[in-house]
Every structure is written in C-alpha cells, then in structure tokens.
A = this chain, B = another copy of it.
Amino acid sequence: MSGDRASVLLRVTLPLDTLPIVSAHPDPMADEDYRLAVVDLLGALAYGELTAFGRLADDSSLAPTLGDKAALAAMAVAEYNHFALLRDRLVDLGAGPEEAMEPFIAALEAFHERTAPGNWLEGLVKAYVGDGIAEDFYREVSAYLDDSTRDLVLSVLEDTGHSAFAVERVRAAIEVDPRLAGRLALWGRRLVGEALSQAQRVAAERDALANLLVGGITERGADLAEVGRMFARLTENHTKRMASLGLSA
C-alpha cells in the first residue's frame, strides 16, 4: 500500500484530532504540562526584562554625566528588545503575554520595593549582582528546555554591556573612597537574601515552573541533589561577581 493510500484510509477511518503525529522530532509543546511550564518561565523572564528596562531607564536619569545617561539608555533599549522577543514567543505558544507575566508581578515588585537603591552606586551593584544571579538561574533552568526555547532563553540572557559598565564605575568609586566597600558589601548580601526569598515564593506558587526544575515533568528536570548543586554554583558565581566589584560576599 502506498503512503498516499494509507493517509486516505486514515482520513476516512479516523476523526481529524486523533491523527497520529509522525515526526522524528515530536513537538515538545504537545505535552500541555511542559507548555505551561515554558509559558510560566517566559512570562517570568518577560516581566523581568520589562522591569529591567524601567530600572535602567531610571538609572539613566540618575546618571552623573550625559555619556553615562546615553550608555544606560542603550542598555535599557537592549532589555526592551529582549522583552519583545519573549512576548512574541509567548504569542506563538498561544499564550497572552500579559496573562503570562501577571503571576510574577507581585514577587518582582516586592523584591524591587525591598531593594530600592538609595543612590547611583547601589543601583549599579543591584543591577550587576541581582541580574547576575537571575541570569545564572535561568541559564541553569535552560538545561531542561527543548532546543528552540533554550536558544531563545540564552539569547535574551546575553549581557547588554551593563556588567562591564557597573564593575568599572563601582571599582573606580571605591578607589576614591574605600569606606564605600563595607556598605556596598552589606548591600550585596541584602540583595541576594531578598532575591532568594522571592524565588522561593514563586517556586511555592507556580507548580509547573517548580516541576520543570525538579523533574516532575517527564524526564526533563533535575533531582533534588542536582538542585542543591545548582544553588552551590549560583552562590559561587555570586561570590565571584562581588569580588570583581572589589567587595567581599
């Protein structure tokens, strides 16, 4: 029997929605739990990028020189472009971008409210240290994603040039006034503590997202021992970032 004949037979004997998917690469989004986890992940990332845009724009208006102002505005624009990519993918996945972002507003706003920078340097440390730990986390999660979603996540995590900018400005300020180091180190510890407490809150509220990480959905996730090692890696990278600022973690 030729392939065409077989398909005619199928069309005749099966209702349309039970036609088997024949593909070497089955669509990972056919698994509804997985699709929901990805929508959650992209929604959280999208809202993070949109608030990063706003924060960098705020920092831009606080910038001491026109050159810094323009540089921070450029970084804000890069974050917005990441947001736009994520929003478009959410639409492709059949999700409303606003609905997908909604569940993460409270945790992110709480984080930003508790860690409002008191000045230009605290803002730089927050962007570098806070975004750094968030980026590391998303990079770890990306290991459990399908290729297409992973490529998107890794592309929006690309550094917009802010890291080098922050490191340079903070180190220069500490060189001028070494007493800043103690206060900024304390600020860095507070940032991490608040970030982890809000991350826990999200994990507790968003089952699909938490399952993605700890292996609840098919075989993709890590076991709990691997999650422990992941947190060790996050902490280690955080310590490195603080050191590159000239601060103790």
| A interface list, Cβ under 8 A from B | 47, 50, 53-54, 57-58, 60-61, 65-67, 69-70, 73-74, 76-77, 80-81, 83-84, 87, 97-98, 101-102, 105
Contact = CB atoms under 8 A, between A and B. Distances in A.
Contacts of A81: 77
B83 A80 contact: no
Contact of A54 (B50, B60, B66): B60
Nearest to A101: B66
A98 B98 CA distance: 38
A110 B82 CA distance: 34
B58 A73 contact: no
A50 B77 contact: no
Nearest to A99: B66
A87 B101 CA distance: 35
A231 to B, nearest CB: 31
24 contacts: A50-B69, A50-B70, A50-B73, A53-B57, A53-B60, A53-B73, A54-B57, A54-B61, A54-B73, A57-B60, A57-B76, A58-B58, A65-B98, A66-B97, A66-B102, A66-B105, A67-B98, A70-B87, A73-B80, A74-B80, A74-B84, A76-B76, A76-B80, A77-B81
Given A74-B80, A74-B84, A77-B81, 9 more contacts: A50-B70, A53-B57, A53-B73, A54-B61, A57-B58, A66-B105, A70-B87, A70-B97, A77-B77
Contacts of A97: 66, 70
A53 B58 CA distance: 10
Contacts of A66: 47, 50, 97-98, 101-102, 105
A196 to B, nearest CB: 25
Nearest to A61: B54
A63 B31 CA distance: 36
A76 to B, nearest CB: 7
A98 B97 CA distance: 38
Contacts of A57: 53-54, 57-58, 60, 76
Contact of A73 (B61, B83, B102): B83
A170 to B, nearest CB: 22
